[in-house]
Amino acid sequence: MDNKQTSSFKDNMTKAAGKFAGSRFVRAIMQAGFSVIPFTIIGAIFLILTVLPQAFPIPGFAALYADTLGRFINLFQVVYNSTMGILALVFAGTFTYSYTKIYQEEEHINVVPMNALLMFLMAFFITVPQLVWKNGSIQFVQSLKAVNIIGGGYAVSTSGITRIAAVGIFTGLIVGWITVQVYRFTIKHNWQIKMPASVPAGVSNSFSALIPGFCVAFVIAAIDLILIIMGTDIFKILYIPFSFVSNIADTWWGFLIIVFLIHFLWWFGVHGATIMSSFYTPIVLANMASNAKGGFHFFAGDPLNAFVIIGGSGATLGLAIWLLFRSRSTQLREIGKVEIVPAIFNINEPMLFGLPIVYNINLIIPFICAPLASGIVSYVAITSKLVPKVILQQPWPTPVGLSGFIATASWKGAVLSIVDAIVAFLVWYPFIKHYDNVLLKQEKEKAAKI
């Protein structure tokens, strides 16, 4: 492939990835992902309080805990349930609000984000109860089995109403998308009640949402009715592809494909993590909630920032330290000075564009292979149960060691995080050493000419 063909391929890749990343749907999902961060952090704090004896297996500590904080464990669980137990509402609700706002601003149509959010809540709760077609009529599912408690169609557990938790995120996204599209369609075709200009805006907005809201309710109820008559419902139908994709992402090869794509896109200057996280965020949230209840998933919470891309995309924390203290070329040493502090908090854009790594054929191999190596180590350590599974989602800028501890609520997670950083640097070392020598030679030649 000649330079012209290579340049054309790069341009096409950048254009396609940039177009996808800039799509309204992806931008709205990213906003939804940001919205759940404070909820997952709050939930993580209270979950840690409930698992302290497991996090610190010190002789006598369990008895001390039982006599002190252990007395409030049910209250801690209630707070946790009030965050992680409503993730579908928070995630899909924010998606709906953001999606509507984008249409409002870019298409200049009179859709009201708050109205869309309220319509979504109505539509989503239409889908939550479990119904069946029996004896020629729609009936609520009832079950009092210990493993399947359903009353009036609502499946409940110690975590609250099951379908509004993380398991309902994917369904919530689809319902949110339908809500926005129906609302947008009705407004664009003037299917709304218009009030005189003298009527207060709040009253006018409530009436303008009446017909769109009815249309949303009718569409969702009709879809649900058809599926119920067919012996299923929207949750069960959507759970099939969600479960399929989730199972793939949980395999070692599926996980490594995600890591590869993130870095392959980044090499073209496109924020790979942003694009890929729009796909996997619902999966890792659902898996994390499952892990907290006794399930076992590797791809849960935020394993990437905890164990794989420590220092930022490319797993560059060790690289930043080496650049600062061991590189001989002026260019790399200066990059190290700028990058060392951000790298501690998993930020490495100065290195990606300043080293540079983006479009640098000399560094593409370690940039992709270093996180793959740390990913393999993490996968083996957690799936072999040498390190506990991820049950919490740490803030992504959390430094190495602390990130692994928070994610697993175990000192073993902290050790794994540090080991991963070392493994990633070992992959980087021969390549950056060679690149440093090349730059040093160029600097000497340039200085000699001057």
Examine the domain organization and report whether 306 and 200 are in the same domain.
no
Q: What is the pLDDT of residue 69?
A: 87
Examine the domain organization and report whether 266 and 226 are in the same domain.
no
| Residues spanned by the domain of 262 | 250-449
Which of 172, 205, 239 is the endpoint of a domain? 239
Q: Determine, yes or no, domain membership for 244.
A: no
Examine the domain organization and report whether 130 and 155 are in the same domain.
yes
Q: How crowded is the C-beta side of 75, counted as CA atoms within 13 Å?
A: 4
Examine the domain organization and report whether 255 and 227 are in the same domain.
no
Better-scored residue on pLDDT, 378 or 286: 378
For the chain, the domain total comes to 2
Of the candidates 63, 45, 178, which has an alpha carbon nearest to the alpha carbon of residue 124? 178
Better-scored residue on pLDDT, 114 or 161: 114
Using an 8 Å Cβ cutoff, are 117 and 92 in contact?
no
Examine the domain organization and report whether 169 and 265 are in the same domain.
no
Q: What is the pLDDT of residue 198?
A: 60
Instruction: Summarize pLDDT for 26-47 with one digit per residue, the tens.
Output: 888 888 877 887 887 788 778 7
Q: Determine, yes or no, domain membership for 62.
A: yes
Q: Determine, yes or no, domain membership for 10.
A: no
Q: What is the pLDDT of residue 8?
A: 66
Using an 8 Å Cβ cutoff, are 178 and 124 in contact?
no
pLDDT (mean) for 45-74 = 82
Examine the domain organization and report whether 222 and 125 are in the same domain.
yes
Nearest-10 crossing angle of helices 330-344, 411-449? 160
Q: Determine, yes or no, domain membership for 229.
A: yes
Instruction: Summarize pLDDT for 177-193 with one digit per residue, the tens.
Output: 999 999 999 999 888 77
Of the candidates 308, 273, 277, 262, which has an alpha carbon nearest to the alpha carbon of residue 400? 308
Q: What is the pLDDT of residue 362?
A: 87
pLDDT (mean) for 164-184 = 90
Q: What is the pLDDT of residue 128?
A: 92
Examine the domain organization and report whether 160 and 76 are in the same domain.
yes
The pLDDT confidence band at residue 259, using thresholds 50, 70 and 90, is very high
Mean pLDDT across the chain, nearest whole number? 86
Which of 195, 212, 239 is the endpoint of a domain? 239
Better-scored residue on pLDDT, 229 or 17: 229
Of the candidates 298, 302, 391, which has an alpha carbon nearest to the alpha carbon of residue 50? 391
Examine the domain organization and report whether 275 and 232 are in the same domain.
no
Q: Are strands 154-157 and 148-151 parallel, antiparallel or unpaired?
A: antiparallel
Instruction: Summarize pLDDT for 116-162 with one digit per residue, the tens.
Output: 999 999 999 999 999 999 888 899 888 877 666 888 888 887 677 88
Better-scored residue on pLDDT, 202 or 246: 246
Instruction: Summarize pLDDT for 215-243 with one digit per residue, the tens.
Output: 999 999 999 999 999 988 888 888 777 77
pLDDT (mean) for 160-176 = 86
Instruction: Summarize pLDDT for 328-372 with one digit per residue, the tens.
Output: 999 899 989 988 988 999 888 888 878 888 878 889 999 999 999
The pLDDT confidence band at residue 106, using thresholds 50, 70 and 90, is very high
End-to-end CA distance of the chain: 37
